[in-house]
Structure 1
């Protein structure tokens, strides 16, 4: 049998109820009717037209880093949002006219991914999510700084970026108008999650133009741009930042401090927001790609937590700890041996773990991505409110703020999740697939976060965890994600207080108090997103268990992983369907 073919039952047992939940097809049942070129062509016409329209709308996060820098910022005013909703509802009607059973295998997958994507876009506008363009760790104004970190390759990129900077006042005014509308109807992130979040605005207001993140692209410009033109572009950037960007932040800061923060809603539960029950269920559908209810997810979370607590007890026996779990957690949170002394030490340990994976990767993956990633610290103005790490194409961000909160025993699990084989590995593999429509590069949280959490478990097989404490760190992270099922539904559907949520995480994970607080505030202000991780992992584990049982000695872990990754972000029922086909084809991977 290939490496890792058999998994310990205690690690990968999956409730039948969840397996049944993802067995329900996301689309119409498969038919024996032959695929037709006409049906495929009609579907391609729909998603090709809509995608081009979406790019023209300059919607955020719809372009990759090879498309260059645009000269404008998106329109986000209410009238534009209503127009977009009408357009997407028309797209859904056109999709309903496509005979799904007549689609080819590839286009059937495209249909399932695309329809779920457009339905989520419609729901977001229907519930006027645009009136709440911030949460506990993200905001429209800070997200703008990511544009400055994209590759700038040509003079036109810089010219376009200066035009963007000059467009900031209009963009901010539209966002503020939306936020005022949300404020008027009680649709804001809860006030408790917003404390101190104005600091990132104040940092821009107080900075010199050349010291702001917006000036970053001009500090190291390509030599292909003549020196005189570089100087002219730098002067234009300083002028735009001075005359447009900083004044826009001054106005935004005044609005946040005088109006928004004092009047933000006190309630925590999404179900107590306008049309709250339907709103929260729409977030469950979006982030889990299932029709599970809040009650069902809560019960799954409690059951999974009980299993993980049993695994934790076994590790405590291995290290001869005689106290109870709370005492062990306190020991882990306070013993200095488990914490880095400097930011550089934390970054170097993360790099060492990533290289350990590289040495073992070929035994578990047939295809590796061409894209590499850098390991960099979270920007200091965002770090106090940010998660412990985050990864994606080209980058693994490690939070070096408050080192006593960044346990080294959890770093292997964090690194596997955020870098490789997690986000900084999975996303490039998907994006490097040839001939796939661009909407397929959109991120589906249940799949992407599920894969990243599965990657943490995979580290056990790969020999990444070298001590029982590191295994416990992985289990703590598993408990962290399973407890999200309990906490998110507890807060948003069962009336839990913030203190209840804090206590639950403190009692069931080894996370520090700082991490627990930032995580709970994220769940409160971002309903449903926290549900995607563990439910996604459960779907992948269930698919693997089924493939191992059906294929026996023919099961090849590399072929299985390649099949999952080649598929890219898809709804969980689509993943299940693909692995069923993998089994029918005898465990053959996508690359032969």
Structure 2
């Protein structure tokens, strides 16, 4: 599996064009790029450029015209020998990084150093704890994502896909052996987070046209000549029948007969081998902050209490006469809050996204050209998937079980996942000017998910929450992320039961039960990741408050947002340091103005 395990790709750096002026941070980056390089700069550049070329070979990737990595015609090796080789390489990289004098780096290379070192340290830690022996979680799987979400556009891309499809049996066998090793030492995905996940394999065991891979080859665009389309589809039919479907069937048997029955009943990460150290490493990876589980838990309890007061005020605004619990029951059961068809739900999300499009000029000085679409979560994933997930090409909305998909949450969800959240972030990254290639592939959850949650709050600034119910939906999403601080640490450090976590989330948010259960199973299977959202958002909100206090009437949110987005995905401590510099530069500029 690729070493950026379970991380979204992309999200980085400066953005171009569309006729808008270059932001202040973009200008300063351009100026710094023209400054003479130091020996420290050159040493760092040599190190991350070499690692990038090495990683392309290691993980069966190549770069496209935008410097982004994409898969080649085979899948990477995931054997223990390959993992040991990678750990040795990254350990050496970290040792070489220690020799570089950070104080002698130029401003841009200082950011590159922080990003590179944090990323490599996380990669190495995951190998030290052999996280590859747990190569999936509750909604992200090594057997998923092999079939493209949207069909490729070139014949050569289909030929590479066919090569990867032929390599699936070997790739699955290596993962199965790793999972057997995990079973032997008690390092597994907790059983409760595996239940039903075998069903996501079933569609790929089909020998014919209903196999999702075949659907991809039935939708080859007309830009590929007809004869070539016919040849590719015929070849895919044979590969699916003789290679792909049998490999998925073998994996399905292993999951049902060996892995799921023997997976850990215990859900606490600190009870795994080297559990306390492993959980702390996951906290560090996902938050990029040096915080303890105890500190995070206490912070979460304070945020839950604060947001609850906001929610009570919004309930009063609706005129509802009843308790908090009765209001939640009203929201969960009244038909006025639910779409009657999948298209209605998708249309609501698309409408929100388009409304926000018209307000982006108030948020940024630079906008991307790349467009995304709104799609339903694929049927084979929908029952166990989150409510939505955004990316460069599409923003997925879950239309499964519509009575559990309230529309009052959808405005906040669209802001987070689509625009100005993740899909917007990814488009900005795609159109970035020159930055090191590794920066285009590095994503830190604290930065990325913190921005997504901050975008939900930005909806209050933009005036897109039309009713108190939609505002309550935003608050319930904020409460959801605050409750995660309590729940994740509660499960993995304090030993909470699954039911205790479910009850806590149900009692404090208006999330539907199916969402609550899926989310809790996700936190159980993915220690630490749920902490990133609220800690990242609080960091950005604190920076905004500081900028407003320092700049007063001279504060303009557009360059402030440019500075954050243009920096790309960085550790939160780096974000704070660089934004502090930005604030002081803005203040100096305002003071110098006539």
- The equivalent of 2:96 in structure 1 is 94
Listed as ranges, the matches of 1:435-584 within 5 Å are 435-441=434-440, 442-584=442-584
- The equivalent of 2:391 in structure 1 is 392
Q: Do the aligned partners of 1:360 and 1:462 also contact (CA within 8 Å) in 2? A: yes
Higher relative contact order (CA closer than 8 Å, sequence separation 6+): 2
- The equivalent of 1:51 in structure 2 is 52
Give, in whole Å, the separation in 1 of the partners of 2:569 and 2:581.
17
Give, in whole Å, the separation in 2 of the partners of 1:168 and 1:319.
54
- The equivalent of 2:238 in structure 1 is 239
Q: Do the aligned partners of 1:378 and 1:397 also contact (CA within 8 Å) in 2? A: yes
Cα distance, 1:67 vs structure 2: 5.5
Q: Does 1:433 align with 2:435?
A: no
Cα distance, 1:429 vs structure 2: 1.3
- The equivalent of 2:127 in structure 1 is 125
Give, in whole Å, the separation in 2 of the partners of 1:222 and 1:143.
20
- The equivalent of 2:81 in structure 1 is 79
Segments of 4+ moved more than 3 angstroms: 59-69, 222-226
SS in 1 for 2:358: helix
- The equivalent of 2:22 in structure 1 is none
Q: Do the aligned partners of 1:68 and 1:157 also contact (CA within 8 Å) in 2? A: no
SS in 2 for 1:187: coil
Report the CA distance shift for 1:348/1:225 in structure 2 as closer, same or farther (over 3 A).
Answer: closer
Cα distance, 1:320 vs structure 2: 1.7
Higher mean displacement: 85-94 or 314-323: 314-323
- The equivalent of 1:214 in structure 2 is 213
Give, in whole Å, the separation in 2 of the partners of 1:547 and 1:244.
58
Give, in whole Å, the separation in 1 of the partners of 2:127 and 2:71.
26
- The equivalent of 1:354 in structure 2 is 353
Give, in whole Å, the separation in 2 of the partners of 1:185 and 1:225.
50
- The equivalent of 1:279 in structure 2 is 278
Give, in whole Å, the separation in 2 of the partners of 1:101 and 1:440.
21
SS in 2 for 1:465: coil
* Residues paired across the two proteins, number: 553
Q: Does 1:107 align with 2:109?
A: yes
CA RMSD of aligned residues (A): 1.8
Unaligned regions of 5+ residues in structure 1, if any?
1-33
Cα distance, 1:424 vs structure 2: 0.5
SS in 2 for 1:579: helix
Q: Do the aligned partners of 1:69 and 1:152 also contact (CA within 8 Å) in 2? A: no
Give, in whole Å, the separation in 2 of the partners of 1:331 and 1:555.
41
Instruction: Give the structure-1-normalised TM-score.
Output: 0.91
Listed as ranges, the matches of 1:209-358 within 5 Å are 209-358=208-357
Q: Do the aligned partners of 1:377 and 1:398 also contact (CA within 8 Å) in 2? A: yes
SS in 2 for 1:487: helix
SS in 1 for 2:286: helix
Unaligned regions of 5+ residues in structure 2, if any?
1-34
SS in 2 for 1:375: strand
Give, in whole Å, the separation in 2 of the partners of 1:108 and 1:134.
34
Deviations 1:203-237 (A, max 9, x none): 222x2433222224422334454333322222111
SS in 2 for 1:72: coil
Give, in whole Å, the separation in 2 of the partners of 1:60 and 1:120.
20
Q: Do the aligned partners of 2:204 and 2:211 also contact (CA within 8 Å) in 1? A: yes
- The equivalent of 2:11 in structure 1 is none
Deviations 1:387-422 (A, max 9, x none): 000001121100000001111111000000000000
Instruction: Give the structure-2-normalised TM-score.
Output: 0.90
Q: Do the aligned partners of 1:392 and 1:423 also contact (CA within 8 Å) in 2? A: yes
SS in 2 for 1:149: coil
